[in-house]
Amino acid sequence: MDQLSLPLLKELTKLADDYFRCNDEKIMDLIRSDIVLLSEAIMLSDL
């Protein structure tokens, strides 16, 4: 794992926390989209 991945993983953790605390379905969908995009960025940064 490179140096770029660690900050991205921290942000992913924050997004997951926000997702599980959220009660609004529209906001949850937006957070879920961010989680997917960030997960893809993490995978690509490890290549």
pLDDT band at 47 (very low <50, low <70, confident <90, very high): low
Q: Which two tokens stand for residue 45?
A: 């940064």
Tell me which long-range contacts 37-44 makes (C-beta under 8 A, separation of at least 24): 38/8, 38/11, 38/12, 39/12, 41/8, 42/5, 42/8, 42/9, 42/12
C-alpha dihedral sign at 22, 12, 14, 17: positive
Express each pLDDT in 8-27 by its tens digit: 889 999 999 999 999 999 99
36 and 44 Cβ atoms separated by less than 8 Å? no
Predicted confidence at residue 6, as pLDDT, reads 82
Predicted confidence at residue 18, as pLDDT, reads 97
Angle at CA 37, nearest 5°, toward 42 and 35? 90
